[in-house]
Structure 1
Amino acid sequence: GGVGVPLLSALGLPGARTRRDLEVCDRDAASFLAEKTTGLVLALAVPPVLGTLLGLGGVVLPLPMAALTWAGFALVVWFAPDLSLRDEARKRRERMRHTLAGFADLVVVSLAGGAGVNGALTDASSASDGWAMVRVREALREAALRRQPHWTALRDLGERYDIPEFNELAASLQLAGADGARIRSSLAAKARTLRTQFLAELDADAQSDTERMSLPVVLLFSGFLLLLGYPALSHVLLSL
């Protein structure tokens, strides 16, 4: 697949949205374009080979049906990497948002224990080894090495992962650092808001899953009734 990377790059691929998703998933554009090239090769090679095998077996598809099948297969294999990447990026953003809620809670606990803002941020980011918390810890460490304010690191994370809650947390920390504002109460309110939002999303997902399960249950119950009623109905019809 790497053979087609320069060609697809010359065509302007990947787009801006895809590049953001690649950055979220810690993937490079070359590997993504290699997957696209592989899909294109499969789209061009597999249908003719399959059609030839069917022809040798005596099965000849009408030309319109063969063309539609080829086009559908080509669309599926071409857009499959995009859909997979988009789904992975969405899951990573959700995981980062959930981690931010726990991170804000831990910062509030450290502040209540008498730690300063920098110490509270460092202690909170060291509480987990999950990839999301590792990203937060690395961003804070990088900001410290560059002698930048810690809220800059959080704002950069918000821009990278397209999560506005990071920007709100960074704004609260910047206000505390610049004007000496009380940060503990504002962070506690922010953590409470994130928790409520997280629980609401979990409840919405659970209700959505329940609704999606309704149709299979109805079909299963209908099949069960048909299985029970068919012998009696068949007997009645044959006896007429």
Structure 2
Amino acid sequence: MTLVLLAGALAGVGVYVVVLMFDHGTGTPAAELARLDSARMRNQRTATLTADRRHQTESMRVRKVGATLATFLEARGLPVPAGIRSDLAVMGRSVETHLGMSVLASLAGLVAPFVMLAPVVAFWGTSFVVPLWLAVVGALGGGALATLQLASEAKDRRRDFRHVVSAFLDLVSMNLAGGRGVPEALASASELSDGWAMVRIRDTMESARLQGVTPWAALGDLGREMAVDELRDMAAALALVAEDGAKVRASLSARAASMRQRELADAESRAGQRSQSMLIAQLLLCVGFLLFLIYPAISEIAGF
């Protein structure tokens, strides 16, 4: 019975692969619009310079697998969610690379149960049903694990980026107070650090200069791409300075101070959570030590 189920599953997979080879999508207007919109998002003007640095270390084979999967999804009107795209933008990865890594993780989760349980099945003749179910769970878990790991890493990286944005706001405010214009203030502020976040801001403004786009518009697009509202708000405030001559130097300083207060509160909250986790670990150690002390007396009374 198990062999029949495996043969049926393999036959189903083969039929599905054949269908995918000859199926080029539904061709509906919605699917084509989704494909064009995704292509436009991948070729945004703010990513001209940073894309080369971002993708130069990515494996071409992984990207090829991810590109095939991305084309397959876009042709059916199933684009990658915006949250995952913003996390990828923060991490400096492409959608194709993430999809390729997710496929590899799913394959690893699919194969791992068979590899680990192969000796048990070979020597004790256990049924293949348990490894088969574990393989399905492993494949789903492997794909989900790649996305969860991306979200966790992007959260930490986005926090660091917000910290840099607060310092960038202060620097821009000081340059504006010194009598510089908005483009000169932005360029001068971005040259004072070689960290990844400041390099990202500097590359974005350089790309905007080459493309004939205002730097605050490019920074606003970067904030929307990375889901960093503080950078987008700063770009809107700078646009008011350049277009209407508004005096927002004090506003930029206030925004920077507000961001620092928020970061301080967030740091205190994380420190409190870690203190609680350490307290729980200490309580568990105390419970284990007490069990170690009272076990001889209990075993003597119970007679075992």
Q: Matched residues in 2 for 1:184 and 1:165: separation?
A: 15
Deviation at 1:189, TM superposition (A): 0.8
**2:162 alignment counterpart:** 97
Q: Structure 2: which amino acid aligns with 1:139?
A: T
1:118 aligns with: 183
Aligned to 1:47: 113
Residue 190 of structure 1: how far off its partner (Å): 0.9
State the partner residue of 2:265: 200
Q: Is structure 2 residue 145 aligned with structure 1 residue 80?
A: yes
CA apart distance, 1:59 = 6.9
Deviations along 1:134-183, whole A, 9 cap, x unmatched? 11111222223334322112211111111111121112111122222212
Q: Aligned-residue CA RMSD in angstroms?
A: 2.7
Q: Which amino acid aligns with 1:32?
A: H
Deviations 1:179-199 (A, max 9, x none): 222121111111111111111
> Under a length normalisation based on structure 2, what TM-score does the superposition of the two structures give?
0.68
> Is the alpha carbon distance of 1:138 and 1:11 closer, same or farther for their aligned partners in structure 2, counting shifts above 3 Å?
closer
Count residues with an aligned counterpart.
238
Partner Cα distance (1:30, 1:211) in 2: 40
Give me the whole-angstrom Cα distance separating, in 2, the residues matched to 1:48 and 1:42. Answer: 10
Residue of structure 2 aligned with 1:34, choices 100, 105, 118: 100
What TM-score do the two structures reach when normalised by structure 1?
0.84
How many Å separate the matches in 2 of 1:4 and 1:180?
50
Q: Give the AA of the match of 1:23.
A: A
Deviation by residue 1:85-111 (Cα, 9 ceiling, x = unmatched): 222222222222111011111222333
Residues 202 and 143 of structure 1, relative CA distance in 2, 3 Å threshold:
same
Q: How far apart are residue 8 of structure 1 and its match?
A: 6.0
Kindly, what percent of the aligned residue pairs are identical? 35
SS in 2 for 1:57: helix
Larger mean Cα displacement after TM superposition, 168-177 or 224-233: 224-233
Would you say the 8 A contact 1:96–1:132 is kept in 2?
yes
CA shift in 2, pair 1:14/1:44, >3 Å: farther
Given candidates 279, 286, 289, the residue that maps to 1:214 is 279
- Tell me, yes or no, if structure 1 residue 186 matches structure 2 residue 251: yes
Query: For the residues of structure 1 that align with 2:222 and 2:93, how far apart are their CA atoms?
Result: 16
Mean alpha-carbon deviation: is it higher for 34-43 or for 93-102? 34-43
Partner Cα separation in structure 1 for residue 73 and residue 209 of structure 2: 40
Q: Which runs of 5+ in 2 are unaligned?
A: 1-60
* Aligned with residue 134 of structure 1, among 187, 192, 199: 199
Q: Give the Cα separation in 2 of the matches to 1:232 and 1:126.
A: 70
What is residue 160 of structure 1 aligned with on the other side?
Answer: 225
Range 98-107 or range 201-210, more displaced: 201-210
Does the CA contact (< 8 Å) of 2:111 and 2:135 recur in 1?
no
Instruction: Spell out, residue by residue over 1:202-230, the C-alpha distance to the aligned partner (whole angstroms, 9 max, x if none).
Output: 11211222223332221111011222233
* Cα deviation code 1:110-140 (max 9, x no counterpart): 3334433333222211111111111111122
CA contact (8 A) 2:171 2:189 kept: yes
